[in-house]
Structure formats: structure tokens, C-alpha cells
A and B are shown apart, each in its own frame.
Chain A
Amino acid sequence: DQQVKQNSPSLSVQEGRISILNCDYTNSMFDYFLWYKKYPAEGPTFLISISSIKDKNEDGRFTVFLNKSAKHLSLHIVPSQPGDSAVYFCAAASGGSNYKLTFGKGTLLTVNP
């Protein structure tokens, strides 16, 4: 049973436009959410996170929105750049001493010049 779902395996966007990556979760105990970017054969790179007490967090071109009632979060990238092309993983954590992360399967974003 997958607790974190990224239903779109891939997304293609034109350079300069907005990229919207979606993520749904089922475990209501999750209280912290993160987005990671990953290139092939490399480890994930942390992008942005959001606590469940917020509904929006912004960092430069990246904005994460959280809708707790819908158990849904999204990552907006604007403007999209070709260098943003990578796999984006959504991850969620619940409180506790170890804060284990549960990852989605990822969405491959391709930004076309």
C-alpha cells in the first residue's frame, strides 16, 4: 500500500512556463513534506519542504502548496528552465525521533528549450 503517490510518471513543459508536480498521501499522521530532485546515478538533492502547520512555502522559483484536507501537495516551478529536467520525488514524514521518510515513485520532468 503506497502511502505517498505521484500519479504522473512524467511531465513535459516548455522553458519559461510553469511546472506543476503533484503528490497525494494517505497517511494522516504525516506532518512534514519534502521535495527532492534527482539526476540519474546520483543521490537526491533537497529542494524545499513544508510543515503541516503551513499551506505554502516559497523559495525562489520553487513553491510548495499543501492542502491537508485533500491530502495533496504540489510543487510549482516558475519559470521552468532546461536545467530543471530531472526526476522529482515527493517525500513525507511523521513525528518521532527518527523522522523516517516515505517517498513517492517520482515524476520525470522534462523542460524543453
Chain B
Amino acid sequence: GAVVSQHPSWVICKSGTSVKIECRSLDFQATTMFWYRQFPKQSLMLMATSNEGSKATYEQGVEKDKFLINHASLTLSTLTVTSAHPEDSSFYICSARVTGSTDTQYFGPGTRLTVL
């Protein structure tokens, strides 16, 4: 149980284009999902908290107009990187917390974004 999927697993795009990444909880409902970014040999940095049916909460320094988050259902959250630039190239990982359960977050497999 507690499986989280991400799609796509990797994407290469041109600078200036937008990329959408999906995060799905496959066998549980997740009121809250989280989006992280990891640069090589660095820790996972929380970007934003996605709440079903409401606006996402962004961490300090993360541009909400650049990283659009939509959590339309209890099993799906999307992250759209708008007008991507090479510095946005990173490993993006989502996680989901089982609604009404403990603090444990279950992570997706991640999406490798490369912006040319």
C-alpha cells in the first residue's frame, strides 16, 4: 500500500516552454501532497505544500507564479514549471501524506527535468 506515482519520469524541454508533472496517490487518499526539488548531492528541499481544494502554500524563495500547483482531487496534484530555464533543471519529487494518518509521507519516484 501507500504507492505514489509520478509522470513523466523524465522530460527534456526547450527553454521558455512549460512542463507539467503529475503526482498520484494510487491506493490511498491524500489531502496533502508536497513537492520537493533535489539538486545533485544536495538534500530534498521543500518547494510547496499542496492542499486538495485550496491554494498551495509555497516555501520562502519559491516563485508561485513560476511553479504552479493544482490539487484538484484527493489523488492527484500537478506541478507546472512555467517558462522553464536551464537553472530549473533538477529532480522533482512529490510526496503524499495519508489522510487522517500519521506524519509519514510516501514519495513518488521523481521526475528528472532537463531544460536545454
Contacts and interface: CB of A to CB of B under 8 A. Distances in A.
B49 A98 contact: yes
Which 10 residue pairs are nearest across A and B when measured between Cβ atoms?
A43-B107, A99-B103, A105-B43, A103-B43, A43-B109, A103-B44, A43-B110, A44-B107, A32-B103, A43-B108
6 contacts: A34-B105, A42-B110, A43-B109, A45-B107, A104-B43, A106-B43
Interface residues of B, number: 27
A89 B45 CA distance: 12
A54 interface: no
B103 A43 contact: no
A81 interface: no
A98 B59 CA distance: 13
A61 interface: no
Interface string B52-63: 000001000000
B97 interface: yes
A41 interface: yes
B46 A44 contact: no
A98 B99 CA distance: 11
A89 B43 contact: yes
- Of residues B44, B97, B105, which shows the largest number of chain A Cβ atoms within 10 Å of its Cβ? B44
A93 B34 CA distance: 13
A41 B49 CA distance: 22
Contacts of B42: 105
B43 A46 contact: no
Interface in A13-46: 32, 34, 36, 41-46
